Chains A and B, each alone.
Chain A
Amino acid sequence: KGRTEIDDEFLEELEQILISADVGVQTTLDIVDKITERAKNERYASEEDLNNMLIDEIQKMLSDARDAHVVDFDAPLPSTPYVILIVGVNGVGKTTSIGKMAYNYKTAGKKVLIAAADTFRAAATEQLEIWAERAGVPIVGQRQGADPASVVFDSVSSAVSRDMDVVLVDTAGRLHNKIHLMEELSKIMRVAQKKVPDAPHEVLLVLDASTGQNAINQAKEFMKSVKVTGLILTKLDGTAKGGVVIGISRELNIPVKYIGVGEKIEDLQIFDRQKFIEALLK
């Protein structure tokens, strides 16, 4: 028993919800197709059944960060110093996320060092110094205008000699269509490898949840110069839902690792697919 067809009203409402959550037209259409098909094959009895199918289908599109890397801050690291490079376009929340991550790793008993490789933006190092102080971890930096790759080299060297567990590398915000700035990232990677051959162990791309479909371009372009291993989705404490990560996760197979939910040091959470989807559909 049960129904096999979904009425147009439901599908239209679903479309509106998904598009309004920045899921994007293509992914929205694909979700609508999936749910229509599933209803046909499996039948459903109530709207609740339908909703559960929906959550399940979207969940399948979101890759799981735990498949590739350690997620929990207190989990043992595969090697040390474990170098994490943080990248993204301007103003998305890279520096703030580093402060929060440093605090989390530190609280979990790890020795953390922050590399201030944004030598470009006005007062970037001063901002990061405040975060390092709040988290209670050391920071390595140089004067404004210095070569960011050289800061990374210093930092990684220092981390090796001081027996650090984690190095968090802050980089300047850069729009993904600026070729020379993207090349700078590749250089940073190469330089880090001089000291720690398998560095960086992770490259996290920070995305602002209020960003629309341009986030897909961001992910694609950053992927070309550095192998992005995960996403940090920030500013989810706002009204934006960040639905664009579904398409990114599906198309490029990059999982969301952490979310930012505020401007305080405790406002970083491990990404929870179920919770995210529930908020998205609300």
Chain B
Amino acid sequence: MFESLSDKLEHALKKLSGQAKINEINIGMAMRDIKRALLDADVNYKVTKNFVEQVRKQALGEEVIKSVSPAQMIVKIVHDELVKAMGGEQKDINLKTSRMPAVIMVAGLQGSGKTTFTAKLANLLKKKGRAPLLIAADVYRPAAIEQLKTLGAQIGVPVFSIEEKDALKAAKQGIEFAKQNSKNVAIVDTAGRLQIDEEMMAEAERLKRELSPEEILFVVDSMIGQEAVNTAKVFNDRLDFDGVVLTKMDGDTRGGAALSIKTVVDKPIKFLSQGEKVDDLDIFYPERMAQRILGM
């Protein structure tokens, strides 16, 4: 569907096939195409600018100048830089605790896929031999508890909820319930919130303070645009989360947010949510993501 970046660059650099070497001018043209490709993929404007500057420096280095196929060489630099920027080693969620239960909290914007993800994660952990409990701490969204209960029933994982509209109380009582019922991991589903909603962000901080979760995961829709950066930054400033979950990856988004978020908060992307069914959960591979962003 997308003209791949390497095709574009090939095209941009065609004009220099007569010339022996790459110079500042045609590198400049290639960089414009790279910038465009990244922005089309929703990589944040500032992140794109810095990224392209990095690539430009490298592209002007010896290797590329001497190379016979400069376009491919540049694509390789872009690709490798992308993988580097998003990568680091694959990190698993941290459940190594003597505490019973280990607590995982999810947070994010409205509709990003938190509730669905908690069920997927519970399903995965259950398959790995854990005894999970889902805790309904979204006390605002209409039928949020019903939704979690339905999902819990689908995977055979119990769901804890209370009548009272108090997220903290629900979470604390849920953890107590887990203890008494030998559940060794408690996954807390929270309400969607905007990062500029002070009251709701304060609630999230309170949940963190009182529950001391082993793991806080920031759930973000992979179709998100330029605001991915601000959003992730504020959530991270307030919660210092441990990892990122990219959802709705079964769509056709290029998913540039992955690069933006990784760049600004430097937290690992731990899971990809790829569908509406409880099994549609995957781990993250920087390599694949780089190719997706480039439209390769």
Contact = CB atoms under 8 A, between A and B. Distances in A.
A176 B223 CA distance: 12
B252 A217 contact: yes
A120 B254 CA distance: 27
Most buried by A among B143, B150, B230: B143
Interface in A108-124: 120-123
B253 interface: yes
A129 B147 CA distance: 13
B253 A214 contact: yes
B221 A210 contact: yes
B256 interface: yes
Contact of A238 (B41, B42, B194, B226): B194
B147 A123 contact: yes
A271 to B, nearest CB: 19
B196 interface: yes
Nearest to A242: B225
A91 interface: yes
A274 interface: no
Contact residues on B (Cβ < 8 Å of other chain), bracket: 35 or more
B256 A91 contact: no
Contacts of B250: 175, 177-178
B64 interface: no
A20 B223 contact: no
B260 to A, nearest CB: 10
Contacts of B256: 212
A41 interface: no
Contacts of A131: 142
Interface string A71-97: 000000000000000000111110000
Most chain B CB within a 10 A radius of its CB, from A21, A210, A217, A239? A210
A178 B142 CA distance: 27
A180 B80 CA distance: 37
A184 interface: no
Contacts, number: 130
Contact of A263 (B44, B110, B196, B248): B110
Interface of B is mostly: loop
Most chain-A CB neighbours within 10 Å: which of B40, B111, B151, B221?
B111
Contacts of B195: 238-239
A211 B252 CA distance: 13
A126 B146 contact: yes
Given A19-B39, A238-B196, A211 B224 contact: yes
A12 to B, nearest CB: 11
B274 to A, nearest CB: 10
B276 interface: yes
Given A89-B251, A238-B109, 10 more contacts: A22-B226, A24-B40, A90-B248, A123-B149, A130-B142, A175-B251, A211-B224, A212-B42, A239-B230, A263-B141
Nearest 10 Cβ contacts at the A-B interface: A212-B225, A91-B111, A212-B42, A122-B150, A123-B146, A127-B143, A130-B142, A123-B147, A126-B143, A22-B225
Interface of B: 36, 39-42, 44-45, 109-113, 140-143, 146-151, 154, 194-196, 221, 223-228, 230-231, 248, 250-254, 256-257, 276
Interface of A: 16, 19-22, 24-25, 89-93, 120-123, 126-127, 129-131, 144, 175-178, 208, 210-215, 217, 235, 237-240, 244, 263
26 contacts: A16-B45, A22-B226, A25-B36, A93-B111, A120-B276, A121-B276, A122-B154, A123-B143, A127-B141, A127-B142, A127-B146, A176-B252, A177-B252, A178-B250, A208-B221, A210-B221, A210-B225, A212-B224, A212-B225, A212-B226, A213-B40, A214-B252, A238-B195, A239-B231, A244-B225, A263-B141
